[in-house]
Structures are given as structure tokens and as C-alpha cells.
């Protein structure tokens, strides 16, 4: 004889109302996972900049060659002229990095490729809204004829300017190179006249290869 049984041996069926909490929990777990992944990606993107950020000084290792070659053919000037012996890199707001220790107003933004350990100057300069460039004063002297004060300025326009990390060496400070070329105009400016007047210019080129050691992690 067949009997009807109230207790079914199969799994109980869930009503749509019963399924909702599980769906909500599943969606919540997915959201948490996405959030954690995004956070990890963000950390991975920003962390490598720490390798660049800090104070870098001209290396004391005499086996490394440094060069800062100023050539002004028309004035027969051919000399070593170091301008960048210290580099201070910080995280920038309009660029990945911002160098704040250059002479005069030679502070530039750099964009980095952390996975390659390289960075390059940003031009146009997003902080000055013009082509990357700067002016360095070399001091002034009195013109013996007019008695006006004449200031000598270097107007520097970098090109292919890079700050690149070196491979780490155990037991030594992190190393880097500042390397690149720039056009320079040596300008004589009469500071006495109003407005100030350029009284002479000399076109030059400037080639830089500076080896630096990291001394602080700013």
C-alpha cells in the first residue's frame, strides 16, 4: 500500500523571499572584493614613487664620472659648469614628482615610469603654464662706462631631461642619475634702466650627467 509522506527527503525549496538575503550577501562580498582589489592596485601604483622621493646629493664615489658641460662657441667658452649638485624630489600635484632644490627658479615637474625606474621632465611646465625653463643669476657688476648695474643670467631650457634610478647595490645608498641636454642663453641685463634692458646674449648648449646618492627619505 502506498502512503503519502509529509517529510520529503530532498532539499527544501527556497521561496523568492528566502533567496533575497543570500543574493544581498553575495553582492556585498563582491563589492568588498572589488574594493580590496582597487585598494591594492592603488597601493601598487603609488608605492614605487617612494624610490624617487627624497634628497639626493652628488655622489662621493670618485670612480663615477660627472659632467656638466657648458659650451658657448661664439664666445669660446668650453667649461665644466655644475649647476645641479643636489636634487630634492617630492610627490607633485600636477606631475608625479616635483624637484624643489634647483638653482634660481629651476624647479621642475617630472612624470615617472616606476616599473622602469625612470622619470622625465614635464613640458609644458604644468606649474608655470609655459615651456619648461628657468633663469639662474650669476651675479652683477657695474658697467665702468654707464655705471649701470649689469646682471649676468643663464636662461636654461631643458630637453630630454631625465632622473633615472640605478640598480640597487647591497650596502650602498640608493643611486640615480640626472641626465640630459639644455639650451642656454647667457644674457646680460641692465638692472638700472626701467624697464630692465637686455644688453647682450650668447647662445650656448649644456650637457649634464650627474651621479647622485640618496641621503634622506623625505
The string of pLDDT tens digits covering residues 188-209 is 999 999 889 999 999 999 999 9
The string of pLDDT tens digits covering residues 52-78 is 999 999 999 999 999 999 999 999 999
Binning pLDDT at 50, 70 and 90, where does residue 39 land? very low
Contact call for residues 110 and 121 (beta carbons, < 8 A)? yes
Better-predicted residue by pLDDT, 114 or 8: 114
- pTM of the predicted model as reported, rounded to 2 decimal places: 0.75
User: Domains of the chain: which residue ranges?
Assistant: 14-51, 52-216
Q: What average pLDDT does this structure show over 184-188? A: 95
Residues in CB range of 100: below 8 A, 6 or more apart: 88, 89, 90, 107
The string of pLDDT tens digits covering residues 135-169 is 999 999 999 999 999 999 999 999 889 999 999 99
Q: What average pLDDT does this structure show over 161-179? A: 96
- Arithmetic mean of pLDDT over the chain: 85
φ, ψ of residue 170 in degrees (nearest 5) = -60, 130
Binning pLDDT at 50, 70 and 90, where does residue 21 land? low
CA–CA separation, 68 and 76 (whole Å)? 17
pLDDT given for residue 99 in this prediction: 97
CA–CA separation, 51 and 69 (whole Å)? 28
* H/E segment holding residue 20: helix 16-46
For residue 62, give the 3-state DSSP assignment: coil
Amino acid at each position: 500500500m502506498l502512503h503519502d509522506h509529509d517529510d520529503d527527503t530532498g532539499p527544501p525549496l527556497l521561496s523568492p523571499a528566502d533567496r533575497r538575503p543570500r543574493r544581498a550577501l553575495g553582492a556585498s562580498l563582491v563589492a568588498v572584493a572589488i574594493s580590496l582589489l582597487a585598494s591594492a592596485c592603488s597601493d601598487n601604483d603609488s608605492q614605487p614613487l617612494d624610490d624617487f622621493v627624497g634628497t639626493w646629493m652628488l655622489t662621493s664615489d670618485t670612480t663615477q664620472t660627472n659632467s656638466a658641460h657648458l659650451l658657448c662657441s661664439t664666445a669660446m667658452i668650453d667649461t665644466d659648469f655644475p649647476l645641479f649638485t643636489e636634487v630634492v624630489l617630492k610627490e607633485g600635484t600636477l606631475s608625479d614628482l616635483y624637484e624643489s632644490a634647483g638653482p634660481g627658479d629651476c624647479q621642475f615637474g617630472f612624470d615617472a615610469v616606476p616599473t622602469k625606474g625612470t622619470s622625465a621632465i614635464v613640458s609644458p611646465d604644468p606649474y608655470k603654464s609655459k615651456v619648461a625653463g628657468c633663469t639662474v643669476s650669476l651675479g652683477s657688476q657695474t658697467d665702468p662706462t654707464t655705471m649701470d648695474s649689469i646682471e649676468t643670467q643663464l636662461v636654461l631650457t631643458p630637453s630630454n631631461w631625465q632622473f633615472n634610478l640605478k640598480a640597487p647595490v647591497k650596502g650602498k645608498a640608493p643611486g640615480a642619475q640626472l641626465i640630459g641636454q639644455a639650451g642656454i642663453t647667457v644674457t646680460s641685463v641692465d638692472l638700472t634702466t626701467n624697464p630692465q634692458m637686455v644688453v647682450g646674449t650668447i647662445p650656448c648648449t649644456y650637457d649634464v650627467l650627474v651621479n647622485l646618492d640618496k641621503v634622506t627619505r623625505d
